Amino acid sequence: MADVIQLLPEYLANQIAAGEVVQRPASVVKELLENAVDANATQVRLIIKEAGKQLVQVVDNGAGMSPTDARMSLERHATSKIRSTEDLFKIRTLGFRGEALASIAAVSQLELRTKQRDYDTGTLLLVEGSQVTSQQPVACPDGTSISVKNLFYNVPARRNFLKSNAVEMRHILDEFQHVALANPQIAFSLHQNELEVFNLPAGKLSQRIVALLGNGYKEQLAQCEEVTPFISVKGYIGKPESAKKSRGDQFFFVNNRFIRSAYLNHAVLAAYEGLLPRDTHPFYVLFLELDPKTIDINVHPTKTEIKFEDEKTVYAIVRAAVKQSLGIHNMAPSLDFEGDVNFAPIQPLRVSDTAKNSFDTNFRPDALASAAARAAAPKEASSKEKVIPERSIPPRPTEEAKRGLEEFYRSLGQTIVPDVPASPPTNPFAKASVTPPPPPPEPAQPVSAAELPLRESSSGPGNRVIQVHQQYLLVPVKSGVMLIDQAAARERILYEQYTQALERESGLSQTLLFPRTVTFSPQDFAVLREVTDSLHALGFRFTEFGPNTIAVEGIPADVPARDEKELFEGLIEQFRVTSSSVRLDRREQMARALARRVATTSTGSRLAEVEMNTLVDKLFACSIPSYTPDGRRTLVLLELSQLQEFFRKG
């Protein structure tokens, strides 16, 4: 049998490696920006065309490379940052594996210009699909300029899987934001299709946050700092009132490297416990510095996930740092440690002989407070008053109160005894025997659309829909009763309405009396652009009104006209959630997101009888009334036999 194992060609091996490192244009942006930072640049310029599909160019004024280094940088596993095994455990740089440029060059047409400060000329390299087609000296400024053109030109299947320009640009903005936040001492600029999106001068972290995320954060930043021998936590958090519906503005950096960590995010949320409105997310930019030997950063190709040697300690310190910052800036309840509550003096309470006690029929709940107020008044106790310590035994009940209690218990005995036939009279004060209840019936199962029971047609009092705790509807049906989740039912109804509106592209709209401007972060604005057509089809009416700003002129007819910014932020966040969890058509995602967003605003509202009946009728008219679009129950049917089972003796 002939040998079948052979070495892969160099170009094919590079393309396979590129599959891990280069997933989309944003991956190229990340690697090139990090290389510029590692080169000690003080100015970095990012140029994007067609969301990176046509061009990604990064120009820096860093150290530059010699002709030999420029050629070697395109080889796999060639790096200037690792010399021995020990170096792997004290990594402080960003790009260290030596795969970035080689992988990028394997799936693009790459042009590299670089020059060191001590040299008169630089080097120009032209590469296509890992093949160096030209290397020659060239006149160029100090630093390095790398242009990546026609990404995935030689891997058409990968290029076809790229998303729309709006989606890809959103990912590019994310990567640019991460590097710019981590390095406020470096000036960054971003140009998209010849338009300047960002021009960020070097400065303080607080200035960089405001420049990147908007002036709305100028008054909302609270400094956070905690330094221990094990770890230091520094950065800024947002005041609770600045919390947003979207999760975008949350950043963790470990040794100046952006990471994603649900574990650390939970630590921050634990510090904010009890301070945030429902379904909102706080802002934070936190930098963690610790010994590189205590973390492992090479557990993922994108290096955005790391492992901590002692994650419980990191969690505790992050939580304590955020909680301390909230207390210092008077954003959280704080304890008074000056006094000892255990040794507070007992103040005497002056009560008149004629004062009413708690057993009197005319007793008022505020009597104790009134007596305390009288005690605080600057006057001497009269001869008819006596001083009673606050913790003394309360006065004994009067004879009149005792007689009232006895008559009350006798009335209870007269009411209870006739309900138990063929039983001798019992002492109303005796302890009744308790019969253990029967085991609960099996949980009710949701029903499909074809199996829904008919509602009672009679309009008598026994057939009315009843609202329970302003969350559920109790509906009598011929076979028993049906319990409907008010918000889930509304979500199903709205989803089917929005789906039909998207198909017709003619959603009903309510015009606002005055147009209202809403400003977004660049990332949220990129999402908004991505779904603009779907929003217009649903009934939203808005136009662009400056950088990252829209003027809202109308909203869908079923949407309550409240805070338009909160509405759009919640919608964008819901769209992100549905698009990340399940692969769906964009319009399907938008219908789900808007239905969930609008339905949750009606949670806890009291409904009139007409509204309850209308909600039930609309739910029964849906194609799939038993479930929400994401599979949660909207209703539960309790058969008559199940109800009877609750009251049968065991």
Half-sphere exposure for 313 (CA within 13 Å, toward CB) = 13
In the block, residue with structure tokens 């509405």? 567
The 10s digit of each residue's pLDDT in 79-116 is: 666 666 666 666 666 655 557 888 899 899 999 999 99
480 alpha carbon, distance to own chain's centre = 40
Contact 488, 631 (CB under 8 A): no
Alpha helices in 341-416 (DSSP H): 367-376, 399-416
The 10s digit of each residue's pLDDT in 601-641 is: 766 678 888 889 899 999 989 998 999 988 899 999 888 88
CA gyration radius, the chain: 35
Percent of the chain whose pLDDT exceeds 70 = 71
pLDDT at position 182: 95
What are the residue boundaries of the structural domains of the chain, listed by start?
10-200, 205-328, 439-650
CATH, range 205-328:
3.30.230.10
464 band by pLDDT with thresholds 50, 70 and 90? confident
Topology of 10-200 in CATH?
Answer: Heat Shock Protein 90 (3.30.565)
Per-residue tokens: 266: 């939970």
Per-residue tokens: 369: 């407070």
172 band by pLDDT with thresholds 50, 70 and 90? very high
Please report the DSSP string for 494-558 in residue order.
Answer: HHHHHHHHHHHT---EEEEEEEEEEE--HHHHHHHHHTHHHHHHHT-EEEE-STTEEEEEEEETT
Mean pLDDT is lowest, of 2-6, 72-76, 106-110, 446-450, for: 446-450
Region 528-538: mean pLDDT is 83
Q: Which long-range contacts (CB under 8 A, 24 or more apart) does 156-164 make?
A: 158/19, 158/107, 159/53, 162/24, 162/25, 162/53, 163/24, 164/51, 164/530
Contacts of residue 335, defined as CB under 8 A and 6 or more positions apart, other chains included, come to none
Contact 596, 631 (CB under 8 A): no
Topology of 439-650 in CATH?
Answer: Ribosomal Protein S8; Chain: A, domain 1 (3.30.1370)
Output the pTM of the full model.
0.66
402 band by pLDDT with thresholds 50, 70 and 90? low
476 alpha carbon, distance to own chain's centre = 39
